[in-house]
Amino acid sequence: MKARIVVGANYGDEGKGTAVATYTKNSENVLNVLTNGGAQRGHSIVTEDGSVSFHHFGSGTYHGADTYYSRYFILNPMQFVKEYNELLVKPKVFRDEACLWTTPYDSMANLISEVQKKRHASCCMGIWNTIKRSKDIGWVSFDDFMYSEAKLTYLKMVKEYYEKNMVIPTEWRDVWDSFYLAQHFLEDCKFMFEHTVVCELGSLNYDNLIFENGQGLILCDTGYDTFDTTPSNTGILYAMEILNKLDNVESITAHYVTRPYLTRHGDGNLIGETTRGFISNGVAEDRTNHYNDGQGEFRYGILDIPDMQTRIFKDLHHAIGTKNFNWELDVTHCDEMDRLDEFKKYFFKINTYDSPLIK
């Protein structure tokens, strides 16, 4: 079995979906492992059927890959059902039994908090909320929840947890207190339970594993809920921990993905921030990353290549001593800005892609 780890080298939005789709298309019998984060990711590819954005499924889905949720991925039954029903290609879906899972109260509390803070720093999918709530009231596995006769009691406990820790605005009360909210969520949970298989990754028989990370190295977890971080390790750490427990891995290749310039969504620091036109007249308005109320505007900055090399080398420490480990740089949107000669001064193995613009 061969493994690839696709990592964002910056703030996310580098083109990880394009890289994953390409490697899947050029391989056989692929399992796409969603390594970290949750359904707040939005990895887009462009096909003959138009643009497709993946949140709860691997970006290799369109090209035949199945999906596996690692123990570090946060399940979202609501998003799972919505996206599964929209997929033109339905993959087999597997999950680790240790996955955390999000309720509608986690997502709504996240959204209410962002509105009250008047900031654009979250996709409002309840990622931080799910992690903190699971620690504070006690984690229950998704399977234990589904087999329980007290599902509504547990959801009531989650609901009351937030009511004790924040003020629910009057305008939100009708939805927040709705009996149908919990009922609809339970229907989504049942659908996800019936369309996924809980198992260990090592029990599956695939020739190629492609680990698809969410976010980017600059946003790596600090342990604090700020708009400059994400609550997971965004580098190769989780994938290496998983792969080191498998016996039949022939080779591992880490792919650090970047554009020739920086991008990020929403609030928070952006190193070298400027306008698209100042970076290069060739940088086109990004048509796969649209404005949304949670994340705000799509922003641009100048990429410092030596600085990126430093954070990549720091992340590579997690692979020290690993046999048959290699790493490469994947540069997307090369048709918009030619910096290949600059990249070659700092990186040995470089793969290039054009921008996935909709025609």
Asked if 162 contacts 137 with a C-beta cutoff of 8 angstroms, the reply is no
- pLDDT tens-place string over residues 250-286: 999 999 999 999 998 877 888 999 999 999 989 988 7
**What pLDDT is attached to residue 284?**
85
Q: Inform me whether the pLDDT recorded for 187 exceeds 90.
A: yes
pLDDT of residue 287: 66
Residue % of the chain over a pLDDT of 90: 77
Domains of the chain by residue range: 2-96+198-262+304-352, 104-195
Asked whether residue 90 carries a pLDDT value surpassing 70, the answer given is yes
The chain-wide mean pLDDT, for the chain, equals: 91
The tokens for 121 are: 């720093």
Which amino acid type is present at position 271? I
Residue-level pLDDT at 50: 73
Contact 133, 104 (CB under 8 A): no
143 pLDDT exceeds 60? yes
Residue 315, both tokens: 């992340």
Q: Is the pLDDT of residue 307 over 50?
A: yes
Q: What pLDDT was estimated at residue 74?
A: 97
Q: Select the more confidently predicted residue: 294 or 219.
A: 219
CA distance 315 to 311: 6
Predicted confidence (pLDDT) at residue 52 exceeds the cutoff of 50 = yes
Q: What is the mean pLDDT of the segment spanning 334-340? A: 94
Model's pTM, two decimal places?
0.93
CA distances from 117 to 49, 120, 172, 242 (A): 39, 9, 16, 37
The band of 355, judged by pLDDT with boundaries at 50, 70 and 90, is confident
- Burial per residue of 296-310, b for 16 or more beta-carbon CB atoms within 10 angstroms, e otherwise: bebbbbebebeebbe
CATH 3.30.1780.10 fits 2-96+198-262+304-352, yes or no: no
Residue 98 reports pLDDT greater than 70: yes
Query: Residue 288's pLDDT band (boundaries 50, 70, 90)?
Result: low
pLDDT of 359: 36
Mean pLDDT of 184-197: 98
